[in-house]
Structure 1
Amino acid sequence: MGCCCKEKIDEDMTGEEYMEKNRRCTDVLFTLIFLAFWVGMVYAGAYGFSKGDPRILVYGTDYQGNLCGKGALEDFKVRYFVNPYEVLEAGNTAGANIKDAKSICLKACPAASSTLSWVCNYPDSLDSRGLNAITSTTTSYDQWAAMNYDYYSSITTGSHQANSRVYKGPCYPVLLPTTESYGTCSYYAKQTSGAKTAFASLLSTNSQSTPESYDLDDKVTALSDAVAEMLSTPASVMERYIEDFAKAWVVCLVCGFFAPVVLSFVWLGIMRYLAGFFAYFVIAFVNIFAILCTLWLYMKAGVIGNDAIAASDEDGGSSYTDPSEDNQEVLTYAAYACTALTVILLLFTLLMLKRVRIAVAVIKVATQCIAAAPMTIVFPLIPVFVALALFAYWVAAAVYMYSAGDIEQQSCTLTAGAQPQRYCADSADAKNCHCGYETKMTKDLQYMLLYHLFGLLWTTQWLQALTYLTIAYVFALFYFRGGSFSEGMRGCCSSPVFQSFKKMTWFHNGSACFGSLLVAILQFIRIIVAYVVHKMKKAGNDSCCIKYAACCLQYCLWYLQKVLEWINKNAYILIAIEGKSFCFSAWEAISLIMSNILTVGAVNIVGDVLLFLGKLGVALTSGFFAFMYLDTDEYTEGDNRVSSPLLIVVFVIIFAFILAGLFMSVVEMGIDATLLSFCKDCKIHGGKPKFAPPLLAEVLGKYESKQKARNAANRQ
């Protein structure tokens, strides 16, 4: 086995006593740091919830930078773009967008009627173009709403009516019907004939014309699309798919959840009783396939049989070199290389047979532990749900923090004759003729969001670390107790999983915080690098050298993260076994793995193959069930007919694969924990494991000697 030197321990010590002899609280400082960090997380979230309002990110502001439904506009929750020409122009002007189009907050979307009506500026508009400034009166917002926002007939002085007729305000004609969509009035139909005729007559009487030559009736679709794009309305195809999911939710539940759970348990049973068969079948298949490939190459090269690749000579001449001869020569060399690889594979297989037996025994011991403590397989669902709740909170807090930024005018090009100046009565009126508003984050908010992001990464990794520690302790305890749990460990609160969680949280939460911090830092660096690379590409600095360097850097960081996660996982297992600090356990785990590299390799290869086959089989079988379910009359005809079963089947397959992976990860952790427990047992007993469960001990040829020793002890 290549075990390290024997450690000094009390020979009368039981396996459970060995596991507890050095256990103490580890890496406590990092628990305190983690708690202090979460105090900051709570403060950041509270700040966002108290200062931000996500509606501003979805709906935007009116032309004065106010959010509809807030403050003085509390009852005015609907945003209305007063000038449809300006909405169209926003999409055609460089540097401008729909945020630059003038909008006003109303109680409800205005209705286009047979008579001409208007929507006018706020009565107390910040510029000099509101009703109060024009008529020297005091009109409240409620009075303005009672007037249907129309005071066109009251502004008889100056050029206000003339400017209003050419869409320069303060009033704007209501010609197109609108309907509320996500708090915004969206255009949906052609102009009302009565209002259209009345407006045309008004323009003709005053010798005026609209600012554009085209008819708005031809632009209704474009207007609706412009508003819909601003609101990020899902495309019609996605809407159909969402409707399909709503109709086929039973299929998603049965085939995407219940079926994977049942099939995962079935596969665990197969692994428990047929792991050996599958392991040797895979080994035999790989070797036979390698031999067949070698023979095929020899046949095509003409060394064996008459099936060599040859070219026909239609002219019967021999004045040219047959290209097939070069092909045969290449195939011959390929056959020689394949022969060497096949021989090496066969020799390696023969050398690894004993370790394959150990690998199969380790897998069976892991599945025995799951059978003895079935809560083990369900336990990972708890941190998953906690992580989902954390993510939901994080997203909400992040959105609120982002929306807590300052509302400022955005930068755009103010060009004469173009939007927005084209629709201003006075281009020098900065309070009325300006670019639109947007939310800009301050430096403090940016740092707060980065802090919040790192908190999500760290906390997610911490949950995973505690899960690993809990599961590892259960499997290690099962191993060191000789393949059983004490009779007192029954029931929910006294089950091995519950006891393990309490112990690991109390003693080793600091180690979980430390290990998760390392991974979170690396993940955070990867995100920053990806963001910088994205910004460089967006700025046009995407030369081949930069792309290659960025790709190499990102790959190296990804690989480093995988290595660190592997070290962490094995460190958590040693922490569960011996109860020592993170750094010591990580070093000890690497030392044990290097000392037993062949056994570890065999176990990981066999285990990974079986687990992958399980995940793939569960996913594909669930997808097949979903397809068959959707192919019934219930979903091909009538009201529940789905437009396409493809997306639902793909969703079921992906979700089933993830769910099966969750269950298989418990088995994977169990295999690793059992293997490292076995390696540690070898080390402390000079290569002869003392605490191994009977199944594993039998494979090692130690079972009979252990039984004799136990019988002799019982006689005494």
Structure 2
Amino acid sequence: MAEDRELIEKYGKPVPYDRNFRGPEWRNRSCTDVPCLLIFIIFLAGWGFIAQYAVRNGDLNKLVVPTDSFNRKCGIDSSVLDKKYLFFFDLGKCIDPVVPLTGCPTQQVCVESCPTQTFIWDRLKDRLSFPELKERLICLTEADKNNLRDINGIQRAIDNERCARWYMKSAPFLNRCMWEFSPQMCELIPSFLLPRSRRASNGSQSASLANGGMSGLIDALIDDNSSLSEVKMEVLALTAIPEPAVRTKQELVEEPAIQCRRRTEQAETIKQKVRQADTRLAKLVGNMVAHFYNGTHDAQQLGEEIVEDIMNSWYVVLMALMCTLIASLILIALMRWFAAPILWLSIFGVLVGLGFGIYYCVKQYRFWRETATVPNHSLNLEAAVKNVLQEPSTWLYLSIFLAISFVVILLLVIVLRSRIQIAIALTKEGSKAVSSIISTVFFPIFSWVLFILAVTYAIGVGLYLGSIGEPSFRMIRQLDANSLTSVTNENCVCTGPAIEYKVGGRCDPKIFEQNCFNADFGQRSPCTRTTCSFAEIEHPPFVTWSIVYNVFGFFWLTFFIAAFSDMVLALTFATWYWTFKKRDVPFFTLGRAFRQTIFYHLGTLAFGSLILAVCRMIRIALEYLHSKLIKYDNAVTRAILCCMRCFFWLLENFLRFLNRNAYIMCAIHGKNFCASAKDAFNLIMRNFLRVIAVDKVTDFLFFLSKVLLTGAAGVGTYYFVVRSPHLIQLHYNAVPVTLVVIAAFIMTTVFFGVYSMAVDTLFLCFLEDCERNDGSSEKPFFMSKQLMRILGKRNKFPRQRSI
């Protein structure tokens, strides 16, 4: 045919052409990549079998067994078999965001039971006798406690952090001694969630506290305007000494470890203070600030003030985010008129900024070249930065880089100006599509829910699988307390069933405890610095492969969910483009695309996500090999692994790009994954310059839009809190502004992610439209009049079109 010969002459190869093609049609589709879908279903069934096997045979308690300061597993290792609870000398230091990375910076020791009463050395040392004080002490080792002879010895042990200075009544949680629920936490717990015995006791205890010394002390302290810390210490001191009017010593010991107590009306003022300032969140923020702020006390106070500001400004943050949501929708709608001026002004601004940067760098280069300076020899980051900025070569290289960037951007704008016009027109088309089908903006919420469920499932299965197996123990010598590079030389001798035990070899904790002793002190003296310690859980081969299966399933499922979201949006926007009269677009286009994806194209999604999952597993395997081979320090091995890691990283990014466009082509034509990927790749290669221009221009435009909305939200929030002190009182105006800026950027990223998918879909539809149609009555263009005007094309018959 003449048309086919024209296409061959234009593109150099035949282009698949369907004369009856009119965009995505429901009735003309069939299921694609069914075998891959069946494989995916079988894989999920196998994953479910592994999950039920893991839950039935796993025990998460094996993974959360606490470890003390001597690296002993409480209740498992030989020297602490009868001590399964972990006690923290200062639990407050564990409320720190870096604890998962660095560990809790306080002494930790295994104990037989958690403390059932509060102890404060500074308050009780003059009130209790030496035997009572010694009995209440919790020390690192029994030897530390047994060596105490008087009050001064206790003071030295506490100052040297061999014994705890204070502790609160605690209860075991995951075998760790945690503070009991605070009264403020109890107020937040519904009464029906509390056990009957505890609910019944709340009233009587509140009454006794109201009539006894507790409420009187609180009232007196409040009347005296005492500080919050003073109130806390006095309350702890009162609860530490059992008073006959309140409870007996025996009642205190037998009291439940965790018991919620309701405060009386007389303590309402202090309760409000504690709710606002003395919260775990305040301690968390305070410890986080302490890493960047001088003074622990100041940092703690700053953290409490930040938390108060968050509590007092939450409604302002919600209002700002609601305004950001509305502004995002309005900006997307206005893009059809203002996309061109925003983009051209942005490009002009970038060129002007680069020109000013070149001028400034040249000026600095000439100044420092003619100025003799002496380097700053201080060993800190500020001095190093100043030395770099005083080097003339720094400004020379920077000016060259900016000049090259200026020339490249200017040439690209001149050469690709017509293609930039296409990108602007497609951005306007995307704005029309998103505004017409506004439900697409909120569709990512559904994908997020699925993603969270997938992550939760995979982590749960992985934890249960990790707990299956037999624990492995090895005989080890602990590090010397005075030197982290040497071990103790304890003469630990094993006899009987343990006669073959060697340092570094396998052992059994019970046998070790019964048959190993310190030869320097006799057979009745157990080994204290040499232990039979837990090493790892040895997994059966089936469990090991199940863990690999679970990791691969996590990647495959998450990539599948992302592909499902892309396919639904692609079908939605492709339907909009290929509808000749836009007023005829179905009302439930998104729902139709959702059903169409489920009924016909799940196999294609499974195929594409499988390819990405395999590539990701290869990258994980390379990282594992790198961690194993890095100790050999072989330059050739490092070079090979580095090249392979770089190659597969690039391959994965390319596959992501190709898959995204393959899903769009599948949405347009309804073909299988391989055919769609081939069509998408060929189409992109035939229009390579257009693809580069549209992709980079739209990315730049969307970035500017996100920055604009985020900045407007932050500035608006700042002016509101500054000019409305009668409505909201804050310590730091930056607190709500920071929250708004972070949340607004995330929100706009989600919205413009949908917008980006719309532009990518419409772009491929536009390229298909250009190659398949000629504007005749048999093959009319579906593109907008603006796009036809840019390309110099038009439909050859009168056309009534509603945009």
* TM class by smaller structure: 0.5 to 0.7
Residues 391-470 of structure 1: matches in 2 within 5 Å?
391-413=455-477, 416=490, 426=523, 434-437=531-534, 440-443=537-540, 444-470=542-568
The one of 702, 710, 717 aligned to 1:619: 710
Match of 2:699 in 1: 608
Match of 2:617 in 1: 524
Q: Which SS does the other structure have where 1:409 is aligned?
A: strand
> Is the contact made by 2:563 and 2:605 (CA closer than 8 Å) also made in structure 1?
yes
Between 1:521-530 and 1:605-614, the stretch displaced more is: 521-530
Match of 1:574 in 2: 665
Match of 1:26 in 2: 32
Residues 455-604 of structure 1: matches in 2 within 5 Å?
455-482=553-580, 484=582, 486=584, 489-490=586-587, 495-535=588-628, 540-541=631-632, 551-604=642-695
Match of 1:693 in 2: 784
| Structure 1 residue 692, shift from structure 2 partner | 1.6
> Is the contact made by 1:20 and 1:579 (CA closer than 8 Å) also made in structure 2?
no
| Structure 1 residue 603, shift from structure 2 partner | 1.2
Corresponding letter in the other structure for 1:515? G
Corresponding letter in the other structure for 1:409? F
Corresponding letter in the other structure for 1:667? Y
Whole-angstrom distance in 2 between the partners of 1:284 and 1:392: 47
Q: Which SS does the other structure have where 1:26 is aligned?
A: coil
- Structure (1 or 2) with the larger CA radius of gyration: 1
Between 1:56-65 and 1:388-397, the stretch displaced more is: 56-65
Whole-angstrom distance in 1 between the partners of 2:432 and 2:687: 23
| Structure 1 residue 370, shift from structure 2 partner | 0.9
The 1:9/1:622 distance shift into structure 2, 3 A limit, reads same
Residues 192-203 of structure 1: matches in 2 within 5 Å?
193-194=128-129, 196=131
Whole-angstrom distance in 2 between the partners of 1:662 and 1:82: 43
Corresponding letter in the other structure for 1:659? M
Residues 300-315 of structure 1: matches in 2 within 5 Å?
none
| Structure 1 residue 26, shift from structure 2 partner | 1.2
Whole-angstrom distance in 2 between the partners of 1:397 and 1:408: 22
| Structure 1 residue 437, shift from structure 2 partner | 4.2
C-alpha distance after superposition, 1:452-492 (max 9, x if no partner) = 122111111101101111111111111111362536x22xx
Whole-angstrom distance in 2 between the partners of 1:635 and 1:218: 53
Say how many residue pairs are matched.
578
**1:663 counterpart = 2:751:** yes
Match of 1:130 in 2: none
Whole-angstrom distance in 1 between the partners of 2:165 and 2:650: 44
| Structure 1 residue 569, shift from structure 2 partner | 0.5
Whole-angstrom distance in 1 between the partners of 2:564 and 2:411: 41
Output the TM-score relative to the length of structure 1: 0.66
**1:53 counterpart = 2:59:** yes
Between 1:430-439 and 1:519-528, the stretch displaced more is: 430-439
Can you give the 5+ residue segments of structure 1 that lack an aligned partner in the other structure?
85-96, 113-175, 179-186, 201-207, 302-306, 314-326, 712-716
| Structure 1 residue 601, shift from structure 2 partner | 1.8
Corresponding letter in the other structure for 2:592? Q
The one of 708, 711, 714 aligned to 2:798: 708
The 1:586/1:34 distance shift into structure 2, 3 A limit, reads same
The 1:225/1:210 distance shift into structure 2, 3 A limit, reads closer
Whole-angstrom distance in 2 between the partners of 1:629 and 1:478: 41
Q: Which SS does the other structure have where 1:440 is aligned?
A: strand
Whole-angstrom distance in 2 between the partners of 1:619 and 1:474: 28
Whole-angstrom distance in 1 between the partners of 2:55 and 2:596: 36
Match of 2:287 in 1: 237
| Structure 1 residue 438, shift from structure 2 partner | 6.4
The 1:259/1:386 distance shift into structure 2, 3 A limit, reads farther
> Is the contact made by 1:630 and 1:636 (CA closer than 8 Å) also made in structure 2?
yes
**1:248 counterpart = 2:310:** yes
Can you give the 5+ residue segments of structure 2 that lack an aligned partner in the other structure?
1-6, 67-72, 91-104, 136-142, 179-282, 290-299, 373-391, 479-488, 493-511
Match of 2:198 in 1: none
The 1:298/1:44 distance shift into structure 2, 3 A limit, reads closer
| Structure 1 residue 212, shift from structure 2 partner | 5.2
- Aligned-residue CA RMSD in angstroms? 5.3
The 1:402/1:246 distance shift into structure 2, 3 A limit, reads farther
The 1:80/1:593 distance shift into structure 2, 3 A limit, reads closer
Whole-angstrom distance in 2 between the partners of 1:529 and 1:564: 18
Output the TM-score relative to the length of structure 2: 0.60
Whole-angstrom distance in 1 between the partners of 2:611 and 2:127: 65
Corresponding letter in the other structure for 1:598? L
Whole-angstrom distance in 2 between the partners of 1:536 and 1:655: 42
Residues 17-96 of structure 1: matches in 2 within 5 Å?
19=25, 23-60=29-66, 63=75, 79=85
Between 1:519-528 and 1:608-617, the stretch displaced more is: 519-528
| Structure 1 residue 646, shift from structure 2 partner | 6.4
Match of 2:213 in 1: none
The one of 11, 15, 19 aligned to 2:22: 15
| Structure 1 residue 358, shift from structure 2 partner | 1.4
User: Percent identity of the aligned residues?
Assistant: 22
The 1:339/1:664 distance shift into structure 2, 3 A limit, reads closer
